[in-house]
Amino acid sequence: MIYRDSFFKKELRQTYKQSSLSTNRQFVFGLFIGLAAIALHLVLMTFTDTVLIDAYPYIMQKSFFTTLYTYNFTSLFLIFIYFLIYYHDLTFEEIRKNCWYLLCKMGYKPVLMIFSKIFALLFSLIAIYTTGFAVTAVLTALLKYTFRLDYIPSLYLMGITDLLVLTFILLTSSLFIKRLNIARYFSVFIYIIQIILKNILGYSALVTNRVAMQNPYNLISFGNSPYLMLCFILVVLCIIVCIFRAKTIAKYYSLPSETYNLYNLPAATKILKLESSTGKLQNLYDPERIQRQNRIAKTATITSIALINIIAVLFNIFVIVISISEPNSNSYTGLMPFLFMSDTMQPEISKNDFVCFKALDNTTSLDVGQIVLFKQDNTVYIERIIGTDGENYIVDIDYYPPISQKGSMVKSVPKSQIFGVYIYKNRWLGALIIIANTLWGRIIFMIIPLLLLFFHNQIYNFLRKMQS
């Protein structure tokens, strides 16, 4: 076997020793993203009775638009993770590790390497994205959703744009950031900034508008949102910076971060550097300061883990209490929290909302319009007071389902049967409780905090090892 020795091919296979291995890996990754997007879509479909349907209708519907939109943010997130894992191979980090210095010594031209790297990376990422996009479309067709071609170009353009912006910012930053862990933190920062920017510039609203997404021109139009124009300028700037910066630093040996602690220096010995230009002494290594920083880092990590655990424990207790509590259960605190499982009080209270009722005492007066909890014939009802009839209150539900007879739930209730009055609801808390009661919810809210609790030392040591 004769080994391939082209830099472009090396970049295409991300330095893997066999091109088939690398090609298969990238194809499988694309497939995985597609499957993950459909899995996420199906999971979301189980929460259609929650606040999610109102907050994010575009990801909660049975349509091609929804699955492909879900694919777009799944792919961006997973490709971002892929970037963090293979940061060294995918970005210009290899220049910082002096891999290019060595190649330049062997006759390679930096500018050609830069272009090869950029083109190979784009080709590879677009191939991964397109594979996943196609897989998602095929799987959506298998779900028998109505096929609409007009959304597809806009959704594809949207996904590719996000990918390009993220790729070029990470590529450029890798030329300036020396330490890998800082580069990873910066990548997370960029990812978050990208999301915020989309919201501020109206791009998020544009891409979730089904009517606007039927024409790709709407995405490009500066009048609708300047985001894509900004992305274009950013990408061009990044390419220019990449070419000049990479060309400059590739030729020189890049000193790694000093690890003076490896040199067994005598205790309490500092290393200073005399700056010839200013005559000032710069502190290069101070063991006491490093110890202090390590102590702070350890305290911060342990505190964060402890905080996550405390929140998780409190939340789990809360979820358990809410899950077992019923409207007619005894109240020790004067409050009756539970999940409202019916549509009858829409739009005031929706199905799966977290609601809280206040226990009624003899001094509390009731007014028309209040929602109350009462018991008749051993059945608990939640209805609104619509009037009074002598000593009794006339109550009714707010919403009758289409096939039911209006007015069938009107009741006359004496005050003695009313034991609670509605005071508070939270739709998101309701959704969170429902999610926490699913398998994934149990894993996120119970198993992960338990792991953090028992293995916090190992996690801290692992993080330190990663940093060093």
Partner 1 sequence: MENSNPANLKVVYMDRLSSCEIYFNSVQYRRILQNINLSIHKGEVWGISGNSLLEIKLLLEIMANIKPYNDGRCVLIERGMMRLKRIILPHVFYIGTANMIYNSMNVLEYLMFATAKSKTDVVMRQKQLLQLLIDIGLSNISLSPIHTLPDEYKVIIILLVAYLSKSELIVFNIPELKYTSQQVSVVKNIANLCIESGKTLVISTTDSNLIEEVCSHIAFLINGNVAYSGPVRDFCELYDDTTIIIYGNQLESILNFLKNEMPQYNYEVINNQLIISRPAFGYLEDIKFIHNKISQLQLTPNQINLSPKTVKNAVKGILKKHDIQG
Residue 253 contacts partner 1 per CB under 8 A: yes
Out of 2, 142, 211, 324, the only residue in the binding site for partner 1 (CB under 8 A) is 2
Closest to partner 1 by CB, 86 vs 222, is 86
Q: To the nearest whole angstrom, how small is the minimum distance from the Cβ of residue 29 to partner 1?
A: 16
Query: Which phi and psi angles does 333 have, rounded to 5°?
Result: -100, -5
Residue 101 contacts partner 1 per CB under 8 A: yes
d(CA 50, CA 166): 32
Residue 82 contacts partner 1 per CB under 8 A: no
Burial of 315 (0-12, 13-18, 19+ CB in 10 A): middle
| Binding piece for partner 1, criterion CB under 8 A, among 25-33, 35-43, 157-165, 265-273 | 265-273
β strands within 109-249, DSSP E: none
Residue 28 contacts partner 1 per CB under 8 A: no
DSSP state of 278: T
Residue 247 contacts partner 1 per CB under 8 A: no
Count of residues engaged in binding partner 1, rule: CB under 8 A: 45
Q: Which of 131, 101, 113, 85 is nearest to 11 (CA)?
A: 113
Out of 119, 222, 237, 275, the only residue in the binding site for partner 1 (CB under 8 A) is 275
| SS3 of residue 97 by DSSP | coil
What contacts 24+ positions apart, CB below 8 Å, involve 110-115? Answer: 110/246, 110/247, 110/250, 110/251, 111/243, 111/247, 112/7, 113/7, 113/246, 113/250, 114/242, 114/243, 114/246, 114/247, 114/250, 115/243
Closest to partner 1 by CB, 148 vs 280, is 280
Q: To the nearest whole angstrom, how small is the minimum distance from the Cβ of residue 82 to partner 1?
A: 15
Out of 10, 210, 384, 427, the only residue in the binding site for partner 1 (CB under 8 A) is 10
Residue 382 CB contacts under 8 Å (≥ 6 apart), including other chains: 327, 340, 342, 344, 345, 349, 371, 372, 373, 422
Closest to partner 1 by CB, 202 vs 256, is 256
- C-alpha dihedral (343, 345, 351, 354), degrees to nearest 10: -160
Q: Which of 418, 407, 415 is nearest to 372 (CA)?
A: 418
CB atoms within 10 A of CB 338: 23
Residue 260 contacts partner 1 per CB under 8 A: yes
| Binding piece for partner 1, criterion CB under 8 A, among 212-220, 259-267, 404-412, 445-453 | 259-267
Closest to partner 1 by CB, 89 vs 396, is 89
| Binding piece for partner 1, criterion CB under 8 A, among 30-38, 199-207, 273-281, 446-454 | 273-281
Closest to partner 1 by CB, 109 vs 456, is 109
Amino acid identity, residue 22? S
Out of 20, 277, 378, 405, the only residue in the binding site for partner 1 (CB under 8 A) is 277
d(CA 180, CA 196): 24
| Binding piece for partner 1, criterion CB under 8 A, among 122-130, 196-204, 247-255, 396-404 | 247-255
Closest to partner 1 by CB, 114 vs 385, is 114
The answer to whether 419 and 359 have CB atoms below 8 angstroms apart is: yes
DSSP string over 325-337: --TTS--SSSEEE
Closest to partner 1 by CB, 186 vs 260, is 260
Q: To the nearest whole angstrom, how small is the minimum distance from the Cβ of residue 181 to partner 1?
A: 15
Closest to partner 1 by CB, 142 vs 268, is 268
Residue 107 contacts partner 1 per CB under 8 A: yes
Tokens in use for 424?
């508070």
Residue 266 CB contacts under 8 Å (≥ 6 apart), including other chains: none
Residue 23 contacts partner 1 per CB under 8 A: no
Residue 407 contacts partner 1 per CB under 8 A: no
Q: To the nearest whole angstrom, how small is the minimum distance from the Cβ of residue 283 to partner 1?
A: 9
Q: To the nearest whole angstrom, how small is the minimum distance from the Cβ of residue 163 to partner 1?
A: 23
Closest to partner 1 by CB, 94 vs 353, is 94
Tokens in use for 212?
């606007």
- Residues near partner 1, by CB under 8 A: 2-3, 5-7, 10, 14-17, 89, 94, 97-99, 101-103, 105-108, 251-253, 255-256, 260, 262-266, 268-277, 281, 284
